[in-house]
Every structure is written in structure tokens, then in C-alpha cells.
Structure 1
Amino acid sequence: MYFDTAQLDQKRCYKLLASTVVPRPIAWLITKNEAGQANAAPFSFFNFFSGFPPVICVGIGMKDGRPKDSLANIERSKEFVINLVSEELAEAMNVTATPFDPGVNELEKANVDVVRAQKMDIPRVAASPVTLECKLQQLIDVDTAAKIVVAHVVGMHILDEAIVDAERCYIDTSKLQLIGRMESPGWYTRTHDRFKLKQMSVAQWEKEQSAAV
């Protein structure tokens, strides 16, 4: 079936994309408000878009026409922390998705232990297997519905047990036990189930094609 997105309202268009562009990594954002209080919220419109320079993007929607707390904090301070979410942290992450009033520390509500980031005065989730310390590069308006946050990754914390070779930056991704976002409401997926495909040069592909004839 074909859907003409120009004929859909915001809610239905969102549902189509969020139900089909899956799985999506989860950016568990931590920012600080003007009073210096931590704010935490998960966003799954997220990925990295350049390996060097290391650049990530996060899409953050508006709430009643105004920036969500995370976005307002990023606009003001120009920095934030992204924690990737392991299966053991899923329930705590879900608690921080609750729309608490501004000024409420979601990390305390979720009983999450935090430690200070390396390059910025923002807490990070101590048990997160991967944390990205980010500096805002630019904000891109998406009409009036959302903004895309483009940021440089200035530092990373990675679970020691997942480090295979620190010098070469080889990581055993399976040990991170990350989860991904699926469709609403409330569906997620584990990254345990994986399969591998062989990466080939053109010469290797042509050789295999010749052998198959």
C-alpha cells in the first residue's frame, strides 16, 4: 500500500515512520537547567553521521509549540551528555521518559547512580556502557515541529569489559548489551540476535559470481 505523506497529519505520519524505521538507537540525554539541576530524557531519533569529525544528531520535538526541557537546556548551555541504554538500564530509562514537571530530577526518580562527565559539569549514568560527551555545533529547524541537534562528540566513556584493543579502538559490541527502540507504544528490541555478512571488494564479488556460473 502506498501512503502519500503530504496527505497525512503529523500524528499519522509520525506513526508510519516510527513503526517502520526500526530499530533505532536510544540517546538518553542528560542536560542541566538554569538552576544547575540535571534533566534526563530518552530520544530515539538519533544516530552518528560522521566518524571524523565525530558528529551525532538528535531530533527533539516541540511540546505545545515550545522547546522541550532537554532542547531548551542545550540551546542555553551548548553541551550535553548522551548515555546509550543497556538492557539492565531499560526500566530506569523508561521512568525518565515520564513527563515530570520542569525542575524535577528524573534520574533521582529512577534511582540512577551518576558520576561527573570528564569535560563538562554534567552527570553521566554510571552504569551506561557507552557515554558520549557532546558540544553543540548547530540547531536545524524542522518547520515548527522539531529541531535537529547537531553536535561534536568531544569524549567517550566505554565499558572496560567491551574493550578488545584500546590502541586500535576495537570494541566487542556484543558486551555492551544495548537495546533499540521499536514501534510505539513501548516496544524495544535487544541486540543479542546478530548475523554477519561478508564484506567484499569488487574483485571478490566478481570471482564469486564466476564460480557460481
Structure 2
Amino acid sequence: MFYRPEDGHGLPHNPFNAIISPRPIGWISSRGASGDNLAPYSFFNGVAYTPPQVTFASTGRKDSLSNIEETGVFAVNIVEYAAREAMNLTSGSYPPGTDEFTLAGVARAECDTIPCPRVADAPAVLECRVTQVVRLLGDDNHLILGAVMGIHLRDDCITDGRFDVTKFHPLARGGYRDYSVVRDVFEMIRPGQD
């Protein structure tokens, strides 16, 4: 099968999200004049090591984007399998100003380097300052880029000096209503590296 996106795919559901999977989930926390916000974004990833930088995309003008444009900061909370139900609850379309931390019963803490809430017991949190908000093609698509100013690692997720994903099992997004969880990890050495 081949299709051009502008012509449509002819399938019952759009396969695009299923093709690009699994995708890490950035559980984005922010604060604005209307309060605290927590929402998951699966078009999320790291984009640079030095200095560390991340990106996520928002389709539509959501509270996260409004807060980030207002304050210039956000936090990326890494989602573990144990938090899947709370994360899913925060993905709903709620009226502006809804506090998803409270709605989903998620414990919050203050970030150390930015004026923003974070998920208190997340396996890892990246405290970020916005470097760019880029308007993408389409009706209302936005790319948010941030420099990581501080990193929280939960102590029980560190094994022998390494951040160990097998301790918390990261949740990932597939297409449609599909999710996956990282349980099996293996190591490969790049050619020329010992």
C-alpha cells in the first residue's frame, strides 16, 4: 500500500501514529495565571546532549502551550507503567484552568530551577526553559523546544551508577489506543567503542 497524506489513506483509522511507535511520553507540567497544568504529549523527545535539550509538539492551543508562552518554563515528567491510569486521566479535554494534578490524584512538588510544578514521584523530571516555540504547518501545530536546567532522578531508579529503566518500566505511546511498556533491555556496543 502507498498513499499520499493529502489524498487520504482509505483505512478506518489514520496509521501515522502507529508507524512512528513506540514514542516516549513527555508528561508536561506547567503553571500559568489560571493555575497548574499536567498533560501527556507523545510527540516528545530529547534533541541534544550538550547542553541537554528536549522538544514536544502540541496540536491545538492547549493550557500547556498557553502557560509555557506566559512563563517560559515547563517540566517534563517521565511516565512509568505504574502511573498509566493517572497519565491517561490527565489526557482528557478539560475546561481551561483545570488542575490535572488534583483531578488525577498526582502528588506534586516544586521544581528547583524554575517556577513550575513537577510530578513528585516521577522516575525522572527535566526542568526546562523554553528556547523556541515554532509554528508548524497545519491549522494549529506548535513545536516547543527547551533547554534542560535541572534533572531529578528518583533514587530507586539508579543501579550501579546508571539510570535503570528496568526499575520503573517507561510507558510509550503507539497508534490508535495502543501503549507499550519497556520491560526487556539489552546492550549493544557501537563499532569502534569499547
TM-score normalized with structure 1 length: 0.83
Between 1:92-101 and 1:172-181, the stretch displaced more is 172-181
Tell me which protein shows more helix as a share of its residues: 1
Q: What is aligned with 1:18? A: 17
Q: What is aligned with 1:161? A: 156
RMSD, aligned CA: 2.0
- Higher relative contact order at CA 8 Å, sep ≥6: structure 1 or structure 2? 2
- For structure 2, the residue ranges without an aligned partner over 5 or more in a row are none
> How many angstroms does 1:165 deviate by?
5.5
> How many angstroms does 1:199 deviate by?
2.4
Matched to 1:188, the amino acid is Y
> How many angstroms does 1:115 deviate by?
1.0
8 Å contact from structure 2 (residues 166, 184) kept in 1: no
* Rounded Cα–Cα distance in structure 1 between residues aligned with 2:16 and 2:56: 16
Task: Figure out how many residues of one structure are paired with residues of the other and give that number.
Answer: 191
Whichever of the two has the greater Rg, that structure is 1
Q: What is aligned with 1:79? A: 73
* Rounded Cα–Cα distance in structure 1 between residues aligned with 2:127 and 2:8: 37
* Rounded Cα–Cα distance in structure 2 between residues aligned with 1:121 and 1:77: 8
Alignment of 1:129-148 (within 5 A): 129-143=123-137, 144-148=139-143
Q: Percent identity?
A: 29
| Deviation by residue 1:26-58 (Cα, 9 ceiling, x = unmatched) | 0111111214x1011100000001011111010
* Rounded Cα–Cα distance in structure 2 between residues aligned with 1:76 and 1:118: 19
Are 2:164 and 1:172 equivalent residues in the alignment? Answer: yes
TM-score normalized with structure 2 length: 0.91
Q: What is aligned with 2:104? A: 110
Q: What is aligned with 1:192? A: 183
- For structure 1, the residue ranges without an aligned partner over 5 or more in a row are 205-213
51, 54, 78: which is aligned to 2:52? 54
